[in-house]
Amino acid sequence: MNAIELIESFQDFKEFKNIDRVTMMHILEDVIRSMIEKEFEDDSNFDVIINPDKGDLEIWRNRIIVENGAVEDDLQEIEYKKAILIEPDFEVGEEASEEYKIENFGRRAILSLRQNLVAKIQELEKDSIYKKYKDKVGDIITGEVYQIWKREILVLDDEGNELVLPKSEQIPTDYFKKGDTVRAVVSKVDMKNASPIIILSRTSPSFLERLFEMEVPEIFDGLITIKKIVREPGERAKVAVESYDDRIDPVGACVGMKGSRIHGIVRELRNENIDVINFTGNSQLFIQRSLSPAKITNITLNDDNGHASVYLKPDQVSLAIGKGGHNIKLAGKLTGYEIDVFRESEEDIEDVDLEEFADEIDSWIIDELKTIGCDTAKSVLEISPGDLVKRTDLEEETIKEIMGILKAEFE
């Protein structure tokens, strides 16, 4: 390989790698100087000149001209009779510059140089990707699904860099196929075996926060602040917002006219229910808002142990708890209190609709009881466990558990 071939390969690297011209020239000079040092033990008296545009690579060896037979250091000195072969006008005491062809290093040394060049560029490229994405942690990126595995998805960004979206960071209802476009937030960037590992997430609260910033100009401009976000990915999310401008309704601005702004976010999150709540420093009011759509009768706070006792009318309990308990769980995370729900009732309870026990009894069991005409707690308690087993498809153990729940309501 001669200098022109080496420069051509250098230009190939530049086309495929996102590295600037100056850096590439420094890399090439470094590996050439390493080759010189290996050959001569010292590169201090060599000049390396690179012009990648013209395909020029010149190596000049500089030595002091001494009298014939007076050379003490072959690396630094050259005899007069050899010097005048390079340039007849040279004189003793001058510095003789001699071009040293890259072919003179030998094929093995040049191949080694090229391998070192590849290794240096790959190392720099990996470092560049790591730094680039380290600065993007918390930002949304868009990529293309390239490979799908059982535990993760490989995503390529617009520069062809590999990003990883683990199954644990996907919304449960996410479904992707090769070639799909996916949006996610950069969650974490690590170095493993000298290679950058970029982890994406669609379940992180940061993902929802960035989506709000993209859809709601007032948040992007800083007129509305997102105080806190809690999520059960794919199920429900609660977002506490605050405005520093009294003229702006933060909840209305986030939702948009007829839900125009929030609909796009909900679609991106696979129909995740999003509750936007006005933030307040009043803990009782904040808990009340966070348990929406349930209407609360009374709240008792115990700041010593971080508990909040919430009292509601029987028909509001299931609303406060929510499907799968998501509403109350997220309200607790949002407010920082452990919330206990109590049915508020007068001493003499006439009866309670079975639907009010939806948080404690599975819906299919309630439906089974309704098929035999039992739609209230007392209507179930009036039938013996044995008759309930005969008249329904429920097991005796389940019947006993249900009756225990219903009796507790009247005790």
Q: What is the 3-state secondary structure (H, E, C) of 21-61?
A: HHHHHHHHHHHHHHHHHHHHCCCCCEEEEEECCCCEEEEEE
Q: What is the reported pLDDT for 144?
A: 96
| 54 has a pLDDT exceeding 70 | no
Q: DSSP class of residue 258?
A: G
Query: Taking residues 209-215, what's their average pLDDT?
Result: 95
CB 264 within 8 A of CB 256: no
Q: Which amino acid is at 9?
A: S
Domain pair 136-203 / 204-279, same fold: no
Q: What is the reported pLDDT for 272?
A: 93
| 147 has a pLDDT exceeding 90 | yes
Query: Taking residues 175-185, what's their average pLDDT?
Result: 95
Query: Taking residues 258-270, what's their average pLDDT?
Result: 93
Report the distance separating Cα 185 and Cα 139, nearest Å. 5
Span 204-279 CATH architecture = 2-Layer Sandwich (3.30)
Q: How confident is the model at residue 124 (pLDDT cuts 50, 70, 90)?
A: confident
CATH superfamily of 136-203: Nucleic acid-binding proteins (2.40.50.140)
Q: What is the reported pLDDT for 117?
A: 80
Query: Taking residues 336-354, what's their average pLDDT?
Result: 75
* Weakest mean pLDDT among 64-68, 272-276, 351-355: 351-355
Query: Taking residues 112-123, what's their average pLDDT?
Result: 81
Q: What is the reported pLDDT for 206?
A: 95
Q: What is the reported pLDDT for 115?
A: 82
Mean pLDDT for the chain? 86
Q: Give the torsion through C-alpha atoms of 132, 136, 142, 143, to 10 deg.
A: 40
| 265 has a pLDDT exceeding 90 | yes
Domain boundaries, the chain: 3-131, 136-203, 204-279, 354-410
Q: State whether residue 275 is helix, strand or coil.
A: strand
Report the distance separating Cα 224 and Cα 239, nearest Å. 12
| 112 has a pLDDT exceeding 70 | yes
Please return the burial class of 145, using the count of CB atoms within 10 Å of its CB with bins 0-12, 13-18 and 19+: middle
| 43 has a pLDDT exceeding 90 | no
Q: What is the reported pLDDT for 32?
A: 86
Q: What is the reported pLDDT for 348?
A: 45
Q: What is the reported pLDDT for 12?
A: 55
CATH class in words for 3-131: alpha beta
Pairing of strands 224-232, 195-201: unpaired
Q: What is the reported pLDDT for 347?
A: 47
Q: What is the reported pLDDT for 1?
A: 46
Q: What is the reported pLDDT for 349?
A: 54
| 212 has a pLDDT exceeding 60 | yes
In tens, the pLDDT along 290-315 reads 998 888 988 999 888 889 999 988 87
Q: How confident is the model at residue 3 (pLDDT cuts 50, 70, 90)?
A: low
